[in-house]
Chain A
Amino acid sequence: MRLIARAIDWPFEALQRAFGAARMPYVFVAPNLAVFAIFVVAPMVMNVWYAVTGGTALMPGERPFVGLDNFQELLSCGNFLDVATCRQDRFWRAVGNTVWFVAFQVVGMVALSLLTALVLNRRIPLRGFFRAVFFYPVLLSPVVVALIWKWILQPDGLLNAGLVSAGLARQPFLLDPGWAFSWTVMVSIWAHMGFYTLILLAGLQAIPPDLYEAAEMDGTPVPRVFWRITLPLLMPNMLVVVVLGLIRAVQTFDEIFVLTGGGPGTATQYIVQYIYETAFANQIHILGLAAAASMLVGLVLLLLTLMQLAFSARAKQ
């Protein structure tokens, strides 16, 4: 054991002898920064090059410069009200699906999380247990989440058995575009709401109890207490939750990819799946188009992140 410890110490002590103690902090940050530089920063820069070059070659040097052609290809439509007239109609379908998905998912998730946090904030027995129940799906992998629900939603699954025993007709939950879209929203809410519930619960618990006591002494009705005390004081947390929810919803991929594969047709194909398939899964790998699309997504995420920073700076005040 001591020998191993010596073996770990030795190279770093040699480095200290070579550079001096004052330069050791640079040695300490080096590995982390190296990984960042190679796998995050360099790709960031290269993404721009991919977006302005064409062809199917992977090596950057072999790619011909095409200027803004990729963006033009993505964005040009004969008529912007009709997806079918766009040159990359799959891109626009994915964008449209993502917008609807994000809207429903975030609104539904924030509403349910808020309701759950309010309930968990009451003085109830077993609060820790209930909090854990709502949080548990957050830790499940997207593949597991998708398979759990795929099993329940299949034609001979539990839910259809419930419908049949209630005298109703079976529903093609994952085969009908409308149903499939709704289920991607619901499964996504199921998998992630526990996280947001936790943040909102922390916000609720930070509200000073004497405010409520004062309101009670004045005989303020409950709904008024909620609108005038709870909600305003929870606002900073609410905004963080909404923006964080938006950022993550825009990037939804894995669960849906395994649950529906983007189908039926393109009914549940979202923007990250478009990028993934354009770059890696389709027969021809159109890397430039994928990079351009990912830059557009990055732009949206950047705006959302700046919003979040502004909100959390305000919340700290």
Chain B
Amino acid sequence: MSNFLTRRRGKGRADITDWLSWLWLAIGVAVMFGPVLWLVLSSFKTQSALQEFPPGLLPMGQKLVMVQGFDKPLPVFAVPRPDGSTAERAMVRRIGLEGQMIDPAAPDKGVERVRIATATPVRELHFAFENYIEPLRNFNFGRYLTNSVFVTVVATAITLLINAMCAFALSKYQFRGRAGIFLFIVSTLMIPITVILVPAFLVVTGLGLGNSLWGVILPPAATPTGVFLLRQYMLTIPDELIDAARMDHASEWRVFWRIVLPLAAPALAVLAIFSVVWRWNDFLWPLIVLNREEVFTLQLGLAAFQGELNTQWHYLLAMTVVTLVPVTLVFAFLQKYITTGIASAGMK
């Protein structure tokens, strides 16, 4: 076993560095995953459960039962009996310090009066799904969600298309200005959006794209990383395939669309994954372009909702979970592509 654990000093037992390594990894799992897990658990708590201090680990709520003859579910209490045991009773009505309770198993036996102070609420695991349903239905979160999906899908499609076209020309043609264009594109990699916020906003407004999702989609669509990544990959596609297609009188566009694009699928997949994550998570640029609530993306909606007075944490936490689900799924299933993408192009 210790041979299995140590990398370079395989002899003998696991030594102190092995224990420290395991300690580090254990702390790592707790610190990296713990906060997200806590968010997910908290998002299923009811509003009143969220206000408890100290907070409980699992989402608990008072047990409710449906009793014949009552429209609403009744809260259940543990009530002490004269013989020292306790029994579960459902409260029908509260009058001052006393509650009118019935036995949920035998509602016909009639109402007994119990002092509230002696009864303790019965708690059980309770997932407050209404935290998820209500904001999507009653607040604008449904709208934000649609906007986010629209931006992510359309922007990724446009990015893939125009980056691939550009990469195709740069990798498979000899033409005047090729080296210059490539250099130009790679150098724009160095211009972060933070440096050109003001004039970029003017351009978008001047084109009538202010407060429009297209104003969010278009400006970052021509990603230099995408062109670079796809070009490197397309360089490995043999030219003979392209020449053969031209012999068959295929147009240049068809060569691109029918031959090069399908062959570049692995690189396109990597770029697509990154584009989806970038766009879904984007905040600063949408914050500047979009000022009206109807066009907010999820990220903007969340940020605006949390800034309001008396933050409604039960809704906010649930919507935060909704926001992190897509990237988590992408991560869970496509992790390998992401790590290779970072290794090959240093993208983030």
Which residue numbers of A lie inside 8 Å of B, CB to CB?
5, 8-9, 12-13, 15-16, 21-22, 24-26, 28-29, 31-33, 35-36, 38-47, 49-50, 58-60, 115-116, 119, 121-125, 130-144, 147-152, 156-158, 161, 164-165, 190, 194-195, 198-199, 202, 212, 216, 222, 244, 247, 251, 253-254, 257-258, 261, 272, 275-276, 279-280, 287, 290-291, 294-295, 297-298, 301-302, 305
- A199-B346, A291-B198 given; A147·B316 CB < 8 A: yes
Q: Which A residues lie within 8 Å of B55 (CB)?
A: 156-158, 161
Residue of A nearest to B317 (CB): A151
Q: Which B residues lie within 8 Å of A297 (CB)?
A: 194-195
Q: Which B residues lie within 8 Å of A143 (CB)?
A: 281, 283, 299, 302-303, 320, 323
Residue in contact with B196 in the complex, picked from A8, A16, A47, CB distance below 8 Å: A47
Which of B59-67, B88-96, B109-117, B215-223 sits within the interface?
B215-223
Are A133 and B35 touching (Cβ within 8 A)?
Answer: no
- A35-B219, A135-B339, A161-B54 given; A141·B197 CB < 8 A: no
Q: Which A residues lie within 8 Å of B327 (CB)?
A: 139-141
Are A140 and B324 touching (Cβ within 8 A)?
Answer: yes
Q: Which A residues lie within 8 Å of B288 (CB)?
A: 276, 280
Q: Does B256 contact A (CB under 8 A)?
A: yes
Q: Which B residues lie within 8 Å of A138 (CB)?
A: 348
Q: Which A residues lie within 8 Å of B299 (CB)?
A: 141-143
Residue in contact with B162 in the complex, picked from A8, A32, A121, A244, CB distance below 8 Å: A32
Are B190 and A302 touching (Cβ within 8 A)?
Answer: yes
Contacts of B162-205 to chain A: CB distance below 8 A:
162-163, 165-166, 168-170, 173, 175, 178, 181, 184-185, 188, 190-192, 194-205
User: Across chains A and B, which 6 residue pairs bring their CB atoms closest together, nearest first?
Assistant: A141-B281, A12-B253, A28-B169, A43-B199, A46-B199, A32-B166
- A156-B55, A198-B342, A253-B194 given; A9·B163 CB < 8 A: no
Are B6 and A165 touching (Cβ within 8 A)?
Answer: no
Contacts of B5-30 to chain A: CB distance below 8 A:
5-9, 17-18, 21, 24-25, 28-29
The number of inter-chain residue pairs (CB within 8 angstroms) is 282
Residue in contact with A133 in the complex, picked from B17, B32, B181, CB distance below 8 Å: B32
Are A253 and B284 touching (Cβ within 8 A)?
Answer: yes
Residue in contact with A294 in the complex, picked from B162, B163, B196, CB distance below 8 Å: B196
Q: Which B residues lie within 8 Å of A49 (CB)?
A: 199
| Bound Cα distance A58, B197 (Å) | 13
Q: Does B331 contact A (CB under 8 A)?
A: yes
| Bound Cα distance A275, B335 (Å) | 35
Are B194 and A275 touching (Cβ within 8 A)?
Answer: yes
Residue of A nearest to B40 (CB): A148
Residue of B nearest to A15 (CB): B253
Are A32 and B227 touching (Cβ within 8 A)?
Answer: yes
Are A295 and B195 touching (Cβ within 8 A)?
Answer: yes
Query: In the assembled complex, how far is the CB of residue A231 from the closest CB belonging to chain B, in whole angstroms?
Result: 16
Residue of A nearest to B30 (CB): A133
The majority secondary structure among interface residues of chain B is helix
Contact with A along B272-316 (1 / 0, CB 8 A): 000001001111100110000000000100110011000001001
Are B320 and A147 touching (Cβ within 8 A)?
Answer: yes
Q: Which A residues lie within 8 Å of B306 (CB)?
A: 147, 150, 258
Residue in contact with B202 in the complex, picked from A58, A125, A147, CB distance below 8 Å: A58
Are B24 and A50 touching (Cβ within 8 A)?
Answer: no
Residue in contact with B54 in the complex, picked from A60, A165, A199, A305, CB distance below 8 Å: A165
Q: Does B343 contact A (CB under 8 A)?
A: yes
Query: In the assembled complex, how far is the CB of residue B315 from the closest CB belonging to chain A, in whole angstroms?
Result: 12
| Bound Cα distance A158, B57 (Å) | 10
- The residue among A24, A58, A138 with the most chain B CB atoms within 10 A of its own CB is A24
Interface bracket on B? 35 or more
Residue of B nearest to A142 (CB): B283
Are B25 and A124 touching (Cβ within 8 A)?
Answer: yes
- The residue among A137, A151, A294 with the most chain B CB atoms within 10 A of its own CB is A151
Are A36 and B7 touching (Cβ within 8 A)?
Answer: no
Query: In the assembled complex, how far is the CB of residue B326 from the closest CB belonging to chain A, in whole angstroms?
Result: 10
A199-B346, A301-B190 are known contacts; what are 9 more A-B pairs with Cβ within 8 Å?
A12-B253, A25-B175, A32-B185, A47-B196, A124-B5, A135-B335, A143-B299, A190-B32, A279-B197
Are A38 and B203 touching (Cβ within 8 A)?
Answer: yes
Q: Does B129 contact A (CB under 8 A)?
A: no
Query: In the assembled complex, how far is the CB of residue A49 from the closest CB belonging to chain B, in whole angstroms?
Result: 8
| Bound Cα distance A227, B345 (Å) | 29
Are B29 and A133 touching (Cβ within 8 A)?
Answer: yes
Query: In the assembled complex, how far is the CB of residue B303 from the closest CB belonging to chain A, in whole angstroms?
Result: 5
- A123-B5, A130-B28, A254-B283 given; A9·B348 CB < 8 A: no
Are A119 and B169 touching (Cβ within 8 A)?
Answer: no
Are B222 and A32 touching (Cβ within 8 A)?
Answer: yes
Q: Which B residues lie within 8 Å of A157 (CB)?
A: 55
Q: Which A residues lie within 8 Å of B203 (CB)?
A: 38-39, 42-43, 46
Residue of A nearest to B299 (CB): A143
Query: In the assembled complex, how far is the CB of residue A7 from the closest CB belonging to chain B, in whole angstroms?
Result: 12
- A119-B24, A149-B35 given; A35·B162 CB < 8 A: yes
Q: Does B257 contact A (CB under 8 A)?
A: yes
Q: Could you name 5 residue pairs across A and B whose Cβ atoms are closer than 8 Å?
A: A31-B162, A33-B222, A43-B196, A125-B4, A134-B32
- A29-B165, A42-B203 given; A36·B188 CB < 8 A: yes
Are B29 and A24 touching (Cβ within 8 A)?
Answer: no
Q: Does B36 contact A (CB under 8 A)?
A: yes
Contacts of B38-64 to chain A: CB distance below 8 A:
38-39, 42, 51, 53-55
Q: Does B70 contact A (CB under 8 A)?
A: no
Q: Does B239 contact A (CB under 8 A)?
A: no
- The residue among A59, A136, A190, A302 with the most chain B CB atoms within 10 A of its own CB is A136
| Bound Cα distance A12, B191 (Å) | 32
